[in-house]
Structure 1
Amino acid sequence: MRGQLNKTIYGWNQHLYPVLYFISWLMVGAGIASLVYRYGFYLSEEEIRGVERNVDGIFAIFTTIYTLRVVTSLHWKAYLRSTWLEGLVNSIVLFHGVARYVGGVNILRYLQESSAMTDLAYQHYISVYLLIFILIEVAKGSTLIARLDIKPATTFIFSFVVLILLGTFLLMLPTATITQHSMPLLDALFTAVSASCVTGLAVVDTGQFFTFKGQLVILFLAQVGGIGIVSFATFFATFLSKGVNLKHQSIIQDFLSSEDLSSATSLLRRVIFLTLLIEFIGGVAIFLSWSEELQFNSLSDKIFYSVFHSISAFCNAGFSLFSDSLNTYMYSDETTAFIQEGMLIDIRRMYGFHLVIAVLIIFGSMGFTTIEDVLSPSRLKLRLKQPWKGWKIGTRMTIVSTVLLLILGTIAVMLLEIEQLRQDKSITEALITAFFQSVTTRTAGFNTMDFGSMKQSTIIVMMFLMFIGAAPGSTGGGIKCTTFYVLVLSAIGDIRGQKNIVINRRTISPMVVRKAYSLLVFSMTYNVMAIFLLTITEEGNANIGILELAFEQISAFGTAGISMGITGDLSSWGKVIIILSMYIGRVGTLTLALALSSRVYTNSFQYPEEHVMVG
Structure 2
Amino acid sequence: MNFDEQINKLIYDWEKHAMPVLRGVAGVNSLAAVALLIYRYGFFLTEEETADLFASFDLIFLIFGMVYLTRLLFQLDRWAFIKSTWLEGVLNLFIIIHGAVNYFFGVKLLLSLSLMFSDANPVLQYQHVLSCYLLLMVMTEVTKLSTHLSNLNIKPATTFIFSFLLLIGIGTSLLMLPASTVGPHSMKTLDALFTAVSASCVTGLAVVDTGQFFTFKGQLVILFLAQVGGIGIVSFATFFATFLSKGVGLKHQSIIQDFLSSEDLSSATQLLRRVIFLTLLIELVGTVGLFFSWSEELVFDSFGQKLFYSLFHSISAFCNAGFSLFPDGLNTSILSDDTTEFAISGMRIDIRRMYGLHMVVAALIIFGSMGFTTIEEVLSPSKIYDRVKKPWKDWRIGTKMALVSTALLLLLGTLAVFILEVDQLRHDKTIVEALITAFFQSVTTRTAGFNTMDFGSMKDSTIIIMMFLMFIGAAPGSTGGGIKCTTFYVLLLSAIGDIRGQKNIIIGRRAISPTVVRKAYSILMFATTYNVFAIFLLSITESGNTDIGILQIAFEQVSAFGTAGISMGITSDLSSWGKVIIIISMYIGRVGTLTLALALSSTVKTNSFRYPEEHVMIG
**TM-score bracket, shorter-length normalisation:** over 0.9
Q: Tell me the equivalent position of 1:522.
A: 526
- Tell whether the 8 Å contact from 1:173 to 1:181 is kept in structure 2 after alignment: no
Once the two structures are overlaid, the 10-residue window that deviates more, 463-472 or 71-80, is 71-80
Q: Tell me the equivalent position of 1:348.
A: 352
Taking only aligned residues, the RMSD between alpha carbons, in angstroms, comes to 0.7
CA offsets 1:235-294 (integer angstroms, 9 cap, x no match): 011111100000000000000000010010000000000000000000000000010010
Deviation at 1:603, TM superposition (A): 4.4
Q: Tell me the equivalent position of 1:39.
A: 41
1:97 aligns with 2:99: yes
CA offsets 1:584-603 (integer angstroms, 9 cap, x no match): 00000000000000111224
CA distance in 1, matches of 2:174, 2:263: 37
- The one of 147, 150, 163 equivalent to 2:167 is 163
- Tell whether the 8 Å contact from 1:198 to 1:317 is kept in structure 2 after alignment: yes
SS in 2 for 1:293: coil
Q: Where do 5+ consecutive residues of structure 1 fail to align?
A: none
Once the two structures are overlaid, the 10-residue window that deviates more, 597-606 or 77-86, is 597-606
- The one of 419, 422, 441 equivalent to 2:426 is 422
Provide the TM-score with structure 1 as the length reference.
0.99
Q: Tell me the equivalent position of 1:305.
A: 309
Report the AA paired with residue 16 of structure 2.
Answer: Q
CA offsets 1:285-329 (integer angstroms, 9 cap, x no match): 000001001000100000000000000000000000000000000
CA distance in 1, matches of 2:326, 2:114: 36
1:221 aligns with 2:225: yes
Deviation at 1:103, TM superposition (A): 2.1
CA distance in 1, matches of 2:276, 2:111: 35
Deviation at 1:426, TM superposition (A): 0.2
Report the AA paired with residue 393 of structure 2.
Answer: K
Q: Tell me the equivalent position of 1:564.
A: 568
1:610 aligns with 2:610: no
CA offsets 1:436-470 (integer angstroms, 9 cap, x no match): 00000000000000000000000000000000000
Once the two structures are overlaid, the 10-residue window that deviates more, 275-284 or 178-187, is 178-187
Q: Tell me the equivalent position of 2:330.
A: 326
CA distance in 2, matches of 1:603, 1:390: 37
CA distance in 2, matches of 1:280, 1:264: 24
CA offsets 1:538-581 (integer angstroms, 9 cap, x no match): 00000000000000000000000000000000000000000000
Matches within 5 A, 1:319-468: 319-468=323-472
Report the AA paired with residue 564 of structure 2.
Answer: A
Report the AA paired with residue 108 of structure 2.
Answer: N
Deviation at 1:113, TM superposition (A): 2.4
Q: Tell me the equivalent position of 2:259.
A: 255
Matches within 5 A, 1:232-243: 232-243=236-247
CA distance in 2, matches of 1:141, 1:195: 25
Report the AA paired with residue 454 of structure 2.
Answer: D
Deviation at 1:14, TM superposition (A): 2.2
SS in 1 for 2:14: helix
Matches within 5 A, 1:567-606: 567-606=571-610
1:477 aligns with 2:481: yes
SS in 2 for 1:348: helix
CA distance in 2, matches of 1:109, 1:564: 52
SS in 2 for 1:32: helix
CA offsets 1:199-241 (integer angstroms, 9 cap, x no match): 0000000000000000000000000000000000000111111
SS in 1 for 2:506: strand
Aligned-residue sequence identity (percent) comes to: 71
Q: Tell me the equivalent position of 1:205.
A: 209
Q: Tell me the equivalent position of 2:178.
A: 174
SS in 1 for 2:402: helix
CA offsets 1:45-82 (integer angstroms, 9 cap, x no match): 01101111111110011011111111221100000000
CA distance in 2, matches of 1:211, 1:556: 25
Q: Tell me the equivalent position of 1:552.
A: 556
CA distance in 1, matches of 2:348, 2:142: 46
Report the AA paired with residue 394 of structure 2.
Answer: G
Deviation at 1:12, TM superposition (A): 2.0
Deviation at 1:15, TM superposition (A): 2.1
SS in 2 for 1:561: coil
SS in 2 for 1:330: strand
SS in 2 for 1:428: helix
Distance change (3 Å), C-alpha of 1:603 and 1:535: closer
Once the two structures are overlaid, the 10-residue window that deviates more, 595-604 or 431-440, is 595-604
Report the AA paired with residue 159 of structure 1.
Answer: S
Deviation at 1:337, TM superposition (A): 0.7
Once the two structures are overlaid, the 10-residue window that deviates more, 41-50 or 1-10, is 1-10
SS in 2 for 1:114: helix
CA offsets 1:123-161 (integer angstroms, 9 cap, x no match): 110000000100000000001111111100000000000
Report the AA paired with residue 179 of structure 1.
Answer: G
SS in 2 for 1:289: coil
Once the two structures are overlaid, the 10-residue window that deviates more, 508-517 or 106-115, is 106-115
Q: Where do 5+ consecutive residues of structure 2 fail to align?
A: none
Matches within 5 A, 1:260-299: 260-299=264-303
Report the AA paired with residue 107 of structure 2.
Answer: V
Q: Tell me the equivalent position of 1:246.
A: 250
Report the AA paired with residue 22 of structure 2.
Answer: L
Provide the TM-score with structure 2 as the length reference.
0.99
1:123 aligns with 2:90: no
- The one of 10, 15, 22 equivalent to 1:8 is 10
- Tell whether the 8 Å contact from 1:326 to 1:447 is kept in structure 2 after alignment: yes
CA distance in 2, matches of 1:377, 1:107: 41
Q: Tell me the equivalent position of 2:235.
A: 231
Report the AA paired with residue 137 of structure 2.
Answer: F
CA offsets 1:524-551 (integer angstroms, 9 cap, x no match): 0000000000000000000000000000
Q: Tell me the equivalent position of 1:50.
A: 52
Q: Tell me the equivalent position of 1:493.
A: 497
SS in 1 for 2:289: helix
CA distance in 2, matches of 1:113, 1:196: 38
SS in 1 for 2:362: helix
CA distance in 1, matches of 2:500, 2:117: 76
- The one of 501, 507, 530 equivalent to 1:503 is 507
Deviation at 1:180, TM superposition (A): 3.0
1:88 aligns with 2:77: no
CA distance in 1, matches of 2:333, 2:558: 27
SS in 1 for 2:590: helix
SS in 2 for 1:370: helix
Deviation at 1:105, TM superposition (A): 1.7
Once the two structures are overlaid, the 10-residue window that deviates more, 50-59 or 534-543, is 50-59
CA distance in 2, matches of 1:407, 1:445: 19
SS in 1 for 2:586: helix
- Tell whether the 8 Å contact from 1:466 to 1:555 is kept in structure 2 after alignment: yes
SS in 2 for 1:100: helix
CA distance in 2, matches of 1:230, 1:384: 34
Deviation at 1:112, TM superposition (A): 2.2
CA distance in 2, matches of 1:249, 1:114: 45
Deviation at 1:377, TM superposition (A): 0.9
CA offsets 1:160-183 (integer angstroms, 9 cap, x no match): 000000000000000000023210
CA distance in 2, matches of 1:111, 1:525: 61
CA distance in 2, matches of 1:147, 1:86: 23
Deviation at 1:20, TM superposition (A): 1.2
